[in-house]
Structures are given as structure tokens and as C-alpha cells.
């Protein structure tokens, strides 16, 4: 009996808040920048970068508390950025670095689908499915469809398009929280538009992404 009472005390406060405000809207943002370069000295002339990556992501989520610690909802995630890499060769007469074998390009990706959230006080875990997964990636023009084209965007393989999220909120008002979230996303692309990739190729991608945002309870 005492264990039941302890569990009830732990759950009662957050679950009562969920019962009063079952709807929740989340908005989250991530921004990452990474680069590498070679110079003749610290503070020297900047030449071409060896590695350059910029990533901006926006996530919108809407959920409804259905029972106990469980909520269900839908999400939309949009990512845009640039990735580039090259090999260093030598320095020019003015000291700038020179590179070869440059590769990369801009990309954008759109994800949408359902998700489930499990709450414990202000902490939560999420699992979501990418019912829609579309990626336009200039660096992946080497992945062509069965007709040899790389014009259409990459599409996810329906059986492998998932994300897992862990996070927590810091209350800043009666119905408002600042939320920190770490997302793990895994997906395989197996087609461009309606056509499969040549030779039944599949292109796998996985990543960890931190998000910061806010959540409103309605």
C-alpha cells in the first residue's frame, strides 16, 4: 500500500496539470556550425575551408494527453543546411590554403508523422515515425534512380524512418515551459520520387540533434 501512495504522490501533480490542459504545442530550434581550415600561423590568411557544415532545424509538435503518462500527436520537422569537404594541397604565394577534391552542397529535408510521448513529471521520452520523409541534397547527385536521373528528391524507406527523443522542461509560467530535447533520428532512402534507386541501393543516415524550444499547454 505504501508503494502505491508513493507512486501516486509522484504522479499526482504533473498528471493533474495534464488533465487540466490536455493539449500541448511544442516549438523547437537547433543551430549547428562546424568548420576546419589550415593556415600558415594562428590568425593568418584564411583560405579554402577543409570542412564546412551549417545546419538549421525547426520542429513543431502538437499532442494530446490521452491517459496516465501517455500523449499522442503529430509533428513537422524542417532542416536546411550546407555540408562541404576538401583535401588540402599547399599554400599559395599569399599564404592562403589551396584544396582539391571539393565535394558537398546545400540540402533541405522535410519530415512529418505521428509520435508518442511518455511523461514523468517534467521529463519525457518520445518515439516518432516519419510517414513523410523528403530530402533534397546537392551532394548526393551520385545516387541516381533506375532511369539514371538525380533530379527528384530522395524519399525514405517506409520501414526505417524513426526518431527517438529525450528531454525535459523548465516551467516559466502556469502553462509555459522551456524545453531541452535530444533527438536521435535514423532513416534509409531508397527512391527518388516514385522510382527506386539504381541497383536497389539504399542510403542510410543517422544523427543526434539537440533542440531548444518552448511548450504551451492548452
Q: Residue range 11-30: average pLDDT?
A: 73
Across residues 126-133, what is the average pLDDT? 98
Q: What is the pLDDT of residue 170?
A: 95
Q: State the Cα–Cα distance between residues 30 and 130, nearest whole angstrom.
A: 19
Is the pLDDT score of 84 beyond 90? yes
pLDDT at 85 over 70: yes
DSSP code for 43: T
What is the per-residue pLDDT across 98-113, written as a single tens digit (0 to 9) for each?
999 999 999 999 999 9
Q: And the C-alpha cell for 12?
A: 499526482
Domains of the chain: 2-217 (2.40.160.20)
CA atoms within 13 A on the CB side of 50: 9
Query: What does the pLDDT read at residue 121?
Result: 87
The pTM for the full model equals 0.86
Q: Is the model's pLDDT at 57 over the cut of 70?
A: yes
Transcribe 124-188 into DSSP letters. EEEEEE-SEEEEEEGGGTT--BTTS---SPEEEEEEEEEEEEEEEEEE-SSSEEEEEEEEEEEEE
- CA-closest candidate to residue 15, choices 59, 71, 82, 61: 71
Burial of 12 (0-12, 13-18, 19+ CB in 10 A): exposed
Phi/psi region, residue 193 (left: phi>0; alpha: psi -120 to 50; beta: rest), is left
Amino acid at each position: 500500500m505504501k508503494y502505491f501512495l508513493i507512486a501516486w504522490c509522484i504522479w499526482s501533480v504533473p498528471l493533474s496539470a495534464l488533465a487540466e490542459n490536455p493539449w500541448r504545442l511544442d516549438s523547437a530550434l537547433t543551430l549547428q556550425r562546424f568548420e576546419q581550415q589550415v593556415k600558415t600561423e594562428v590568425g593568418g590568411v584564411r583560405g579554402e575551408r577543409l570542412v564546412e557544415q551549417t545546419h538549421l532545424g525547426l520542429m513543431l509538435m502538437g499532442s494530446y494527453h490521452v491517459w496516465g503518462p501517455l500523449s499522442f500527436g503529430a509533428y513537422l520537422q524542417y532542416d536546411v543546411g550546407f555540408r562541404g569537404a576538401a583535401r588540402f594541397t599547399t599554400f599559395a604565394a599569399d599564404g592562403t590554403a589551396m584544396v582539391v577534391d571539393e565535394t558537398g552542397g546545400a540540402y533541405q529535408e522535410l519530415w512529418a508523422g505521428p509520435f508518442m510521448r511518455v511523461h514523468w513529471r517534467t521529463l519525457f521520452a518520445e518515439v516518432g515515425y516519419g510517414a513523410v520523409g523528403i530530402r533534397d541534397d546537392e551532394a548526393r547527385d551520385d545516387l541516381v534512380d533506375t532511369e539514371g536521373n538525380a533530379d527528384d528528391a530522395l524519399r525514405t524507406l517506409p520501414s526505417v524512418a524513426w526518431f527517438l527523443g529525450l528531454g525535459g522542461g523548465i516551467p516559466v509560467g502556469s502553462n509555459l515551459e522551456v524545453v531541452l530535447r535530444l533527438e536521435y533520428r535514423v532513416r534509409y532512402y531508397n527512391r527518388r520520387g516514385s522510382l527506386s534507386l539504381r541497383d536497389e541501393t539504399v542510403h542510410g543516415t543517422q544523427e543526434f540533434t539537440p533542440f531548444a524550444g518552448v511548450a504551451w499547454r492548452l
